[in-house]
Amino acid sequence: MKLVWLRATQPQLWQRAARFVAIKEYVLYQLCGEWGVDWAIAAASGLLNLSTLDWDSEALQVAQITPAQLSTLVPTNQVLNLQTAWAEHWQVAADLPVLVGASDGVLSNLGLDVE
């Protein structure tokens, strides 16, 4: 698990970290002001319990982090709202929906209507 490696090799950086997210989560936060992650990306972290679709308590214990340091788990089709400043900057509708999305494999299946 990358987080265990990070804690072992960069302890000062680890202590300063308030949250652990992937780049997609960070971009969504900047655009929408909410921390959200789909199950596919969460699964890639090694911290998701695939049976419950929730953060795995044992994995979190090994990583020495809490659910509060991770994004909220949401479905792939979760809609977030674009922040007003971005809507104005890009000159788009203020109510422009932003989908959380997923990994490329998940979305290719979704595009093919595979269940």
On whether the CB atoms of residues 53 and 102 are closer than 8 A, the answer is no
Per-residue pLDDT of the chain (115 residues; tens, 9 = 90+): 789 999 999 999 999 999 999 999 999 999 999 999 999 899 999 999 999 999 999 999 999 999 999 999 999 889 999 999 999 999 999 889 998 887 777 677 767 766 6
pLDDT of residue 115: 63
Domain boundaries, the chain: 2-111
pLDDT of residue 85: 95
pLDDT of residue 54: 97
Residue from 10, 11, 36 nearest 22 by CA: 36
What CA–CA distances, in Å, run from 110 to 15, 20, 67, 71, 89? 39, 27, 28, 23, 31
Which class is domain 2-111?
alpha beta
